Amino acid sequence: MREAIARLKRHPAAPLAGTAIVALALLALPFALAAAGTTWVRVANLAFLFVLLSLGLNIVVGFAGLLDLGYIAFYAVGAYVYALLASPHFGIHWPFWAILPIGAAVAALFGILIGAPTLKLRGDYLAIVTLGFGEIVRIFLNNLSRPVNITNGPQGIARIDPFRLGGIDFSKSDSFLGLAFSGPIKYYYLLLLVLLAVIFVCLRLQNSRIGRAWEAIREDEVAARAMGIDTTRLKLLAFAMGASFGGVAGGMFSAIQGFVSPESFVLVESIMVVSMVVLGGMGNVWGVILGALLLSFLPEFLRFTVEPAQRQLFGRTLIEPEVIRMLIFGFALVLVMALRPGGLWPSAVRKRELAERDGAMAGKLR
């Protein structure tokens, strides 16, 4: 059996066949999920949004090595740009394909804005400042309702336009080729498309002159500068690129939910995205995707199993699912960090780094 699999793997058509299987699975997935309940399609969509966020943060944290704990601010910026330009709040209703690039650009601008004053900071200090920045953005959104009502404060902005393309409205069901395409399913395909584009961009960036320069900065900033790398420009570029992905994700979130409020962009969300990147494997695009999917689906899965399981065992709910969820979640994170410090699927570079550190420690012990 094992030999047969090995032989299959060696077949010249194996990569192509593998890709085809994954593609088919991804295309069929929303219908399988819809069969279990439309909620699960929504969960998948939210998971995709988090994958987008994690990939964006990975550029800042994983590629350039700059710890950003306020990343959710860029998601908020993208979400509010979309909400303001496509809702009755200002009576503006621009099409999504015009707003998403604007959202990405505004988020990138914010990325540069936070990047510029923090360029000299490293590690912990950078983390603290970015954390503060994330909170500032949220507090602004909360309070920019007076004297001029821009964000509508804590009430948030409602009745945001869904995506519309030609005659297709992403909030309504359509049938096509005899299949029922509900709103969430349509968003699923759109998100999948955006996601593929972002993955493509990430992989190409990583394997380029720019990606190498980021790696150099992460490894040794002084040496990078002495080799002629303009660290100021490249760090700002990392912040801007990462932020723009967050902005796109935010715009899509806004349209999917139809409602945004500052509550969606609290610190815990930033920490969640950082956890996804770290758990999956900083710097490795595939690892980060895995981390984001796991941490998005796991809590939902627990939500649907913990309560029924307790009912079965004890006849009533002893512990709220939310509490157990966080408990298991935290435990899983600690476990992974203890057993696989490079993440579930670490990048080759990170693997080397850890091996070297262990080697050095073993050397000291000897």
Partner 1 sequence: MSALLEARNVSKRFGGIEALSDVSFSISRGQIFGLIGPNGAGKTTLFNLLTGLAPPDRGSFALDGRALAGLKPDRVAARGIGRTFQNIRLFANLSALENVMIGRHVRTRAGVLGAVLRDPATRAEEAGIERRAADLLDYVGIRSRANEAAGSLPYGDQRRLEIARALATDPVLLALDEPAAGMNASETAALRGLLERIRGDGTTVFLIEHDMRLVMNVCDRVLVLDYGRRIAEGAPAEVQRDAKVVEAYLGTPDKDGPG
d(CA 77, CA 98): 16
61-69, 169-177, 217-225, 248-256 -> range binding partner 1 (CB under 8 A)? 217-225
Q: How many residues belong to the site for partner 1 (CB under 8 A)?
A: 32
Based on CB atoms, which residue is closest to partner 1, 36 or 223? Answer: 223
Establish if 228 lies at the interface with partner 1 (CB under 8 A). yes
Residues 230-249 as x/- pattern, contact with partner 1 by CB under 8 A = xx-----x---x--------
Task: Give the helix ranges, DSSP H, for 165-281.
Answer: 183-206, 209-219, 221-226, 231-257, 267-280
Nearest distance in Å: CB 285, partner 1: 14
- Residue 341 per-residue DSSP state: T
Give the residue, chosen from 68, 161, 215, 269, that forms a contact with partner 1 under the rule CB under 8 A: 215
Query: Are β-strands 92-93 and 174-176 bridged in parallel, bridged antiparallel, or unpaired?
Result: unpaired
Give the residue, chosen from 94, 200, 314, 331, that forms a contact with partner 1 under the rule CB under 8 A: 200
Based on CB atoms, which residue is closest to partner 1, 212 or 303? Answer: 212
Nearest distance in Å: CB 302, partner 1: 36
Establish if 210 lies at the interface with partner 1 (CB under 8 A). yes
Based on CB atoms, which residue is closest to partner 1, 206 or 275? Answer: 206
Based on CB atoms, which residue is closest to partner 1, 121 or 267? Answer: 121
- 325-344 positions binding partner 1, by CB under 8 A: none
At 97, list the tokens.
Answer: 């394909």
At 325, list the tokens.
Answer: 């969820």
d(CA 22, CA 42): 20
Q: What is the DSSP string of 273-299?
A: HHHHHHHH-TT-HHHHHHHHHHHHHHH
The closest of 87, 141, 127, 123 to 266, measured between CA atoms, is: 141
* Helix (H) or strand (E) run with residue 176 in it: strand 174-176
Q: Which residues sit at the interface with partner 1, rule CB under 8 A? A: 200-201, 204-205, 207-213, 215-216, 219-220, 222-231, 237, 241, 349-350, 352-353, 356
